[in-house]
């Protein structure tokens, strides 16, 4: 029987590089389909397909483009015809999409792309040699600068289970904040959001969690429409840091504390043993968490039922089975 939270999860909308969903939009007429995105994620997210290079009028097949210059001054030009310069067109499209796609809860970009790569994109010198440090794709750079709180990730990095779980956690947090904005930003709504995300924030960034708590301690002195964006900026900054086994264990023990008067000595010993096994890397996070959920189904606690940490994303994504 799954753990039932009092707050249901939304179905987020994500932007995604179209080639990752199998669309033949790459320079050679091919694609870079990610089955994680096109199959697994597609069951839980609505996608908005974006191909900046096709959108600015480059057909397929086409001459490839690459970044030339330095990280501070980068141009996107043809690999054969250097007079083909699409830098401004890609940047303009990034500004256009950042404004139009205001209902996104995240974006998955194609890695190493001169238009869509978020990081580690090769920049070539005038002599054709790759420069260091590496840079960002033109479209992705402009889009991300204009939407700094939006969760973004590259498809290749999503193969890492820790980064994958972190990204999806951020996406659902962002989607729930969007719901809150639609309903109207009030002091009560902000405090309720912070209460639900207490243990998730504690797992990702304990110091930032305390800073946000101090910020909300003075909420009565501020207009929620002014404080809310500052608070949420801090939330997304905190959630971007990946939780560790140590911080997860800290949260597990905090949650375990709500059960101390309800469990038998044997149950307590088993719970503690599984938390320590997780801390040692013997079992994944899902193991102690599943036992915690089992005990909270038998001994419900209203505050814990509200906690996003208990189920920050759909259970059948199995994201905590590998971390």
Angle at the Cα of 73 (from 50 to 76), degrees rounded to 5? 40
* pLDDT for position 132: 67
Q: Average pLDDT of 110-130?
A: 90
Give the model confidence (pLDDT) of 216-257 as tens digits. Answer: 999 999 999 999 999 999 999 999 999 999 999 999 999 999
Examine the pLDDT at 292 and tell me if it is beyond 70: yes
The tokens for 130 are: 């790759």
DSSP annotation of 319: G
How confident is the model over 74-79, as a mean pLDDT?
95
Which SS3 state, helix, strand or coil, does residue 311 take? coil
Q: Which of 61, 53, 57 is nearest to 110 (CA)?
A: 53
Neighbours of 213 (CB within 10 A): 12
Q: What is the pTM of this model?
A: 0.95
Indicate the burial class of 71 (C-beta count within 10 angstroms; 0-12, 13-18, 19 or more).
middle
């Amino acid at each position: 029987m799954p753990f039932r939270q009092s707050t249901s999860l939304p179905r987020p909308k994500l932007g995604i590089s179209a080639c990752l969903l199998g669309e033949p939009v790459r320079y050679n007429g091919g694609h870079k389909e990610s089955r994680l995105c096109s199959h697994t994620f597609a069951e839980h997210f609505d996608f908005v397909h974006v191909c900046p290079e096709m959108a600015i009028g480059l057909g397929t097949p086409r001459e490839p483009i690459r970044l030339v210059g330095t990280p501070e001054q980068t141009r996107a030009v043809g690999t054969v015809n250097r007079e083909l310069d699409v830098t401004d067109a890609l940047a303009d499209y990034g500004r256009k999409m950042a404004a139009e796609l205001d209902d996104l809860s995240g974006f998955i970009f194609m890695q190493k792309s001169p238009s869509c790569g978020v990081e580690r994109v090769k920049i070539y010198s005038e002599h054709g040699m790759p420069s260091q440090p590496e840079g960002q794709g033109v479209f992705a750079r402009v889009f991300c600068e204009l939407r700094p709180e939006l969760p973004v990730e590259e498809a290749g990095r999503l193969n890492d289970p820790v980064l994958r779980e972190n990204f999806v956690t951020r996406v659902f947090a962002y989607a729930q904040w969007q719901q809150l904005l639609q309903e109207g930003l009030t002091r009560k709504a902000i405090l309720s959001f912070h209460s639900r995300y207490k243990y998730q924030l504690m797992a990702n960034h304990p110091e930032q969690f305390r800073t946000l708590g101090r910020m909300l301690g003075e909420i009565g002195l501020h207009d929620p429409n002014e404080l809310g964006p500052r608070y949420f900026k801090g939330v997304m900054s905190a959630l971007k840091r990946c939780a560790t086994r140590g911080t997860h264990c800290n949260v597990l023990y905090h949650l375990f504390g709500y059960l101390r008067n309800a469990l038998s000595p044997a149950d307590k010993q088993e719970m503690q043993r599984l938390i320590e096994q997780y801390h040692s890397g013997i079992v994944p996070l899902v193991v102690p968490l599943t036992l915690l959920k089992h005990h909270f189904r038998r001994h419900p606690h209203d505050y814990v039922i509200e906690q996003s940490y208990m189920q920050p994303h759909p259970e059948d994504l199995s994201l905590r089975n590998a971390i």
